[in-house]
């Protein structure tokens, strides 16, 4: 056990999918895993372990933002032996050709700062996805109805951003979408020799102000979960 995860020895799989919302972790586990077992509920952050096509998988919430994800990813890696971590979550599109419900595979993740900045203070470290996972996810996404985009994303420190000038520069430099966790996940994976990827569903659009209706989110996010699972075990 750790301060934030009560799972016992052997209850966490080497492959972990990490949605931000703990209730989405519950939904994904109950929808896609066989015999999901609740292995964590400390502070309401739910984690489940079950089987997918004969492979053990844990789906564990990360909370919102890089500091929260850093806590859970650190403990999952260093205390429970997680080796493949895939963020599954929503993102806001920053390019006109990226549409609502599209899938974004984050090849790189730019940020103003991350919890790892204290270690990497002398260099602008460029966190990136595991290439094998990225290729496998791209292949899996071709069988889905969504359009898929591969490239750089922006991991923001804040949800209510008051820097329109910064968003304009992200768009100008080809950033596909914005979210709040991937840059720290990629940094931690690099530090500990793990595989990491962020598979994101576009739920909002910063340019058009469109938003995916709440009633449509579960079905659209289901494609993202399937892509992540297929990539993990390709």
Tell me which residues are annotated as active site.
204
DSSP for residue 201: E
Ligand-binding site membership of 37 (annotated): no
Ligand-binding site membership of 45 (annotated): no
Ligand-binding site membership of 153 (annotated): no
CA distances (Å), origin 4, targets 7, 37, 46, 70, 114: 9, 17, 10, 12, 20
Handedness of CA 161, 166, 168, 172 (dihedral sign): negative
Ligand-binding site membership of 63 (annotated): no
Ligand-binding site membership of 222 (annotated): no
Residue 61 burial (CB < 10 Å; 0-12/13-18/19+)? buried
What's the CA gap between 70 and 77, in Å, rounded? 10
The label of the residue with tokens 């859970």 reads 72
Ligand-binding site membership of 20 (annotated): yes
Ligand-binding site membership of 51 (annotated): no
What's the CA gap between 106 and 9, in Å, rounded? 32
Ligand-binding site membership of 113 (annotated): no
Ligand-binding site membership of 179 (annotated): yes
Ligand-binding site membership of 181 (annotated): yes
The label of the residue with tokens 């999918």 reads 17
Angle at 21 between CA 204 and CA 139, to 5 degrees: 65
Q: Which residues are annotated as a binding site?
A: 4, 20, 24, 43, 87-90, 179-181, 203-204
Binding-site residues for a purine D-ribonucleoside, in ranges, read 4, 179-181, 203-204
Binding residue ranges for phosphate: 20, 24, 43, 87-90
């Amino acid at each position: 056990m750790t301060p934030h995860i009560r799972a016992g020895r052997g209850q966490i799989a080497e492959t972990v999918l990490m949605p931000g919302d703990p209730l989405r972790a519950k939904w994904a586990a109950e929808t896609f895993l066989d015999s999901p077992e609740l292995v964590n509920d400390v502070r309401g952050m739910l984690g489940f372990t079950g089987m997918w096509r004969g492979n053990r998988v844990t789906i564990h919430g990360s909370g919102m933002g890089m500091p929260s994800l850093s806590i859970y990813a650190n403990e999952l890696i260093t205390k429970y032996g997680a080796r493949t971590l895939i963020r599954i979550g929503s993102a806001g599109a920053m390019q006109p050709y990226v549409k609502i419900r599209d899938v974004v595979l984050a090849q790189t993740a730019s940020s103003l700062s991350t919890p790892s900045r204290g270690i990497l203070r002398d260099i602008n470290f460029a966190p990136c996805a595991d290439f094998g996972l990225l290729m496998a996810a791209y292949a899996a996404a071709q069988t889905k109805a969504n359009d898929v985009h591969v490239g750089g994303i922006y991991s923001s420190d804040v949800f209510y951003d008051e820097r329109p000038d910064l968003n304009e520069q992200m768009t100008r430099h080809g950033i596909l979408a914005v979210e709040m966790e991937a840059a720290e996940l990629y940094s931690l994976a690099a530090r500990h020799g793990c595989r990491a990827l962020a598979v994101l569903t576009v739920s909002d659009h910063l340019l058009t102000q469109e938003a995916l209706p709440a009633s449509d989110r579960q079905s659209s996010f289901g494609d993202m979960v399937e892509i992540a699972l297929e990539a993990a075990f390709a």
